[in-house]
Amino acid sequence: MTQSQKILTAHAGVERVTAGELIKAKPDLLLANDITAPVSIKEFDRAGIQAVNDKSKIALVMDHFTPNKDIKAAEQCKCVRQFVKRFDIDNFFDVGRMGIEHALLPEAGLVTAGDLVIGADSHTCTYGALGAFSTGVGSTDIAAAMATGEAWFKVPSAIKFVLKNKPAEHISGKDIILHIIGLIGVDGALYKSMEFSGDGIRYLGIDDRFTIANMAIEAGAKNGIFPTDGIALEYLKGRGEKVPRIFEADIDAEYDAIYEIDLAALRPVVAFPHLPSNTRTIDNVGDIEIDQVVIGSCTNGHISDLRIAAEVFKGKKVHKNVRTIIIPATNKIYLDALREGLIEIFIEAGAVVSTPTCGPCLGGYMGILAEGERAVSTTNRNFVGRMGHVKSEVYLASPYVAAMSALYGKIKG
């Protein structure tokens, strides 16, 4: 079996699972946010359910439109807050405590290696960086799991990605996953596990792994997952009370395909509108002027991402025509950046720094684009209208490329 299949086997309480099989398993954590949780709550109540199965296994994070941007957003959050009070939910994150969910939950120790996690958000696959099986599901699935403590799964087959050698200069997890998506397409891993291996992994910090696992869904994958090595275990040390469980793929595990990626040969990658698979290397982007840069999100709002941007910005000014928005992914990351002097560098360079929020990533607020405007963003999607007007454009890139672009007023690396 593959690494993912072994985790599903353990949580289904069976001896073995096979690709394509339907199983019932018990997740370790259920996640929803201020957009998806109200739908779950409505279905939960419509079914007449009077109690949650295990309040300690539910995490509700107010991160998409929080602090509330308008009345509708406020009403959605109010709905969730009332549910939390009604059932005394343990893991609730609101203004002052919240962060972007996929950075916050690992940081808080709510996810560990070997866990089975489902979330009413497609980028729940982030936690595969730690060696967990995590995947996005519908809000009604979350409602059912809150009531029963169980969920249905179709066991995925897998694609193996062998990452080789030390990454070239300025190559980050964002470049690696954009390269892979460009290689296989947005449906190249449809309902499959993307399992990462190879000697190149040892050169990837945990933040790079979070980024790669996060964007597995952009290739259509059910989940992305890394081995639980010393780097992952070091990150997990002292975070919460959960005990990591390490699952490894069998030597004779079956894969639908195997790709070898030479990290030393990669160049910085930019995804052009309007798909993450529409990739070009920085050498082939041409002369494209931009109006906005966003550095942050669940994909690239980690402290290492902010350090990369600050190194580029230090002692310089962003281009006069570029609105530059920095969004730390959690309050802890914000505080660490403040203590390290990164926030001062950003503000002196002419950028603005936001409270942790998904904000502009989904066209919510804090950086909406007008007709004809272009943005370079470290977020994870660049679909039509993703960040505002349907005739705006979003170019996905690493923090390094985004920061360089902010300085020059055009896509630069």
What integer is the mean pLDDT of 325-351?
97
Alpha helix ranges (H) inside 100-200: 101-107, 139-148, 173-184
Stretch 14-37: mean pLDDT: 96
38-94 tens-digit pLDDT: 999 999 999 999 999 999 999 999 999 989 999 999 999 999 999 999 999 999 999
Is pLDDT above 90 for 145? yes
- Residue boundaries of the structural domains of the chain: 3-260, 271-408
> pLDDT at position 317, please?
97
Question: In sequence order, what are the residues at sequence separation of 6 or more whose Cβ sits closer than 8 angstroms to the Cβ of residue 251?
Answer: none
Q: Taking residues 325-330, report their average pLDDT.
A: 97
Cβ burial of 82 (10 Å; 0-12, 13-18, 19+) is: exposed
Cis preceding linkage at 274, omega within 30:
yes
Q: What is the pLDDT of residue 215?
A: 96
Average pLDDT, rounded, for the chain:
96
> Is pLDDT above 90 for 98?
no
- What is the per-residue pLDDT for 227? 97
Extract the tokens encoding 150. 């169980």
Is 413 a residue whose pLDDT tops 90? no
CATH code of the domain made up of 3-260: 3.30.499.10
Q: Name the region of 237 (left: φ>0; alpha: ψ -120 to 50; beta: rest).
A: beta
User: pLDDT tens across 198-249, in order?
Assistant: 999 999 999 999 999 999 999 999 999 999 999 999 999 989 889 999 999 9
Which 8-state DSSP code applies to residue 98?
-
pLDDT tens-digit profile of 177-203?
A: 999 999 999 999 999 999 999 999 999
> What architecture is the 271-408 domain classified under in CATH?
2-Layer Sandwich (3.30)
Taking residues 300-324, what's their average pLDDT? 97
Tokens of 191: 């309902």
**pTM of the model as a whole:** 0.95
Does 271-408 match 3-260 at the fold level? yes
- At which residue do the structure tokens 């896509």 appear? 411
Q: What percent of the chain stands above pLDDT 90?
A: 97
- What's the whole-number mean pLDDT along residues 101-110? 96
pLDDT of residue 240: 85
Percentage of the residues of the chain whose pLDDT score is greater than 70: 100
Q: How far apart are the first and last CA of the chain?
A: 41
Cα distances from 348 to residues 314, 325, 332, 398, 413, in angstroms, run: 8, 13, 22, 22, 22
The answer to whether residues 60 and 33 touch, using CB atoms and an 8 Å cutoff, is yes
**Confidence band for 276, pLDDT divided at 50, 70 and 90:** very high
